[in-house]
Structure 1
Amino acid sequence: MLTHKAPAIAPSTAAALSVVFTLIYVVPFYLSSATRPSPQLSRDAPSSIRARVRAVTLSSLISIVLTIYVLYYYGRAPPQEILRLLGVWPISLLDTAKTMLLVATLFAGPLFEAGVVDGGCKDWIRGRRMYEVLSSWMGYRNFVVGPISEEIIWRALIIPLHMLAHVSGKKIIFLTPLYFGIAHVHHLYEFHLTHPNTRLLHAVLISLFQFTYTSLFGFFAAFVFLRTGNVLSPILAHTFCNWMGLPRFWGRVGVVEAGVPIGPPSGDKKDEDANGGIQSKGIMWTVAYYIILVAGAVGFYLQLFPLTESSHAMPVVLIEE
């Protein structure tokens, strides 16, 4: 750990650098017509994604250089210690696997629905669906570039700066993700451009909801980064969460539109509702889903500390003795 008894930088300096990194990441999206969303150019257009990937790569490199400079010049950290503080070395694949098991436990219900109820397990084993998604520009952005760049900025760079300022572990966990959440607020503007007929209040509520769940994930990612001492764990957890999306909290599972049968075709139409508009599996599938969903949440809570325990943990205090 850094040898300074007094903070090498002030907490306000760490906060200011965090804001700077957030702006460096987001502002370039609006400086060029190739990246700036408009009614004529969606953020999901391949040309826009390619331009944004280039912008994010440059922004990340600038932030990395600035962070290394601060750690070396003000923190007097040698190269090996800088690598450790950035969470890039050493990397424990066992710690990463335990983190992914923890995240999969939280998503046990959605995994059951997608893999068992909807029959996606075979595609997962074959890797067919994964290849199709990752070979698209949207998939590359959502599951590769996004998680890597965002976890590098808001975990591997911002957290060590707060450690340098001797910010407590609890504050790091609950403060630094707010920058991550704020970085997504600009999606309100993009949503308004692509949905001009949507009420402003509705758009604001969607933006606030996104801010909430990105911040919640950020709390977890910061916790994992501090507990495991490696950035690979939150990167893969981020990718997994992007892949799964938000869990279902209401409604029935195994419900599809009429004309899209579940399982092999048959002449039995007893699963079709009275209006002929819906086909669904039995109610017990839904009961099982919600039982597994709750059990997964409880398991996540109980295993949060055991599955993130690591000998490579960052030298910050999370639990006062």
Structure 2
Amino acid sequence: MPVVFPGPTISLNTAHAFAAFFTLSYVGSLYISRNARLSFKKEVKVDLRDGESREKKRDERWRDDPDVIRARLVAASLSTVVSCLTVLVLMRSLVPGYLPFVVVLESTLARLGFTLEFNDQQRFSIVWPCLVAPILYLGPLFGCYLASSLPFQQRWSWRGSAAPIVMTWMGLRNYIMGPITEEIVFRACILSVYHMAGVSHAKMIFLTPFTFGAAHIHHAWETYNRYGRNMSALQHALIGTLFQLTYTSLFGFHCAFLFLRSGSILPSLTSHVFCNIMGLPRFREDVLRYPQWHYIIRTMYWMGIAGYIYTMIHWTQAPDSLYWPVPGLKLGRY
């Protein structure tokens, strides 16, 4: 049982300060090391066709270069550890001094969504929230089925489908380490401090994800350089950044809700990995590719949306969530 408090333990301004520290330290860590920083030729300014990336110069460093990815994974991992230790230190300062350190550690892990022991009921309550995102993607999954690209279908293979996810530096960043570090920092750490400040569920769900979206704005600089350093490149960078800010914020609403309702980092983490692998739904492409399945594809997409609404309400509540306790269950609040 984690240590709980009868009321807010830190001020809202303090929570804002911690959230800013977590965000800035995560993004800033990507630029501290010379190996992690990007570099572009200043004189490179070319006219390209719309949507076309220029050729990489010899001495430049782009974000998809293997050595850049390695350095950034190390930096992001270290920053994530620092953020978790910061929450631990904060908890140590709030918990009565007579309690042993192991109690503080267990309480911190619980607030970060790391449950060390599961009984049968807890396993059940954690597994169901992990299935919410796949339900939403019923339409795209059906499209993958028609394309025979689901695991163990005809066009799926370990070398062509799975290996790029788990055995390449880009795959490790996009589908494993990126989701893990981002969910720990932008969900677990940030939501834990706002919860200590007594912030409402609605504000934690709909406001804190903007920090997650803002953390991706720095990608605009690389986009501007890759697409020619001209007005077209600037427009491309601005539109791409606005789209990414919108998408990551909306996705953050989803993950924040899952984290608070389940009290575990696992549902939001698995959703992050799954959605990164699937990408954005491609309804129009699926319909154009398989016109004979038009009505079934449309039905599957609508079923996914309806199923998502239902499962977000009925499949996400854990009976022992620290952040969203079942009404009438005395678990404490903060």
- Whether 1:108 and 2:108 are equivalent positions in the alignment is no
Q: Is the 8 A contact 2:212 2:252 kept in 1?
A: yes
After superposition, the C-alpha distances for 1:160-180 in whole angstroms (9 at most, x for unaligned) are 111111111111111211111
Mapped contact 2:220–2:238 kept (Cα < 8 A): yes
Q: Which amino acid aligns with 2:129?
A: T
1:169 and 1:317 in contact (8 A); partners too: no
Alignment of 1:242-257 (within 5 A): 242-253=276-287, 255=289
User: Alpha carbons of 1:31 and 1:122: their partners in 2 closer, same or farther (altered >3 Å)?
Assistant: closer
Per the TM alignment, residue 75 of structure 1 is displaced from its structure 2 partner at its CA by 5.0
2:73 to 47, 53, 57: 53
Task: Report the counterpart of residue 9 of structure 2 in structure 1.
Answer: 8
The correspondence of residues 7-156 of structure 1 with structure 2, limited to 5 A, is 7-39=8-40, 40-76=60-96, 78-89=104-115, 90=117, 92-114=122-144, 116-123=145-152, 127=158, 129-156=161-188
Give CA deviations for 1:22-67 in whole Å, capped at 9, x if unaligned.
1100112223331112331110111000000110111111111111
Aligned pair 1:180/2:181, yes or no? no
Range moving further from structure 2, 30-39 or 135-144: 30-39
Letter in 1 for 2:297: Y
- Alpha carbons of 1:135 and 1:41: their partners in 2 closer, same or farther (altered >3 Å)? same
Give the C-alpha shift of residue 310 in structure 1.
1.2
> Which of 32-41 and 54-63 deviates more?
32-41
Match of 1:250, SS state, is helix
Ranges in structure 1 where 5+ consecutive residues have no aligned partner: 256-280
Q: CA-to-partner distance for each residue in 1:171-229, whole Å, 9 max, x for gaps?
A: 11112111111101111112112222534233211111101111111111111111111
Tell me the percent identity. 35
Structure 2 distance, partners of 1:107, 1:148, is 21
* Structure 2, unpaired ranges of 5+: 41-59, 97-102, 328-334
The amino acid across from 1:298 in the alignment is A
Distance 1:95 1:254 in 2: 39
- Measured after TM superposition, the shift of residue 286 of structure 1 is 3.4
**8 Å Cα contact 2:130/2:266 also seen in 1:** no
Amino acid at match of 2:278: M
Partners of 1:318 and 1:201 lie apart in 2 by: 48
Aligned AA for 2:266? L
1:191 match: 223
Instruction: Give the AA of the match of 1:102.
Output: V
* TM-score of the aligned structures, taking structure 1 as reference length: 0.84
TM-score, normalization by structure 2 = 0.81
Matched with 2:308 is: 300
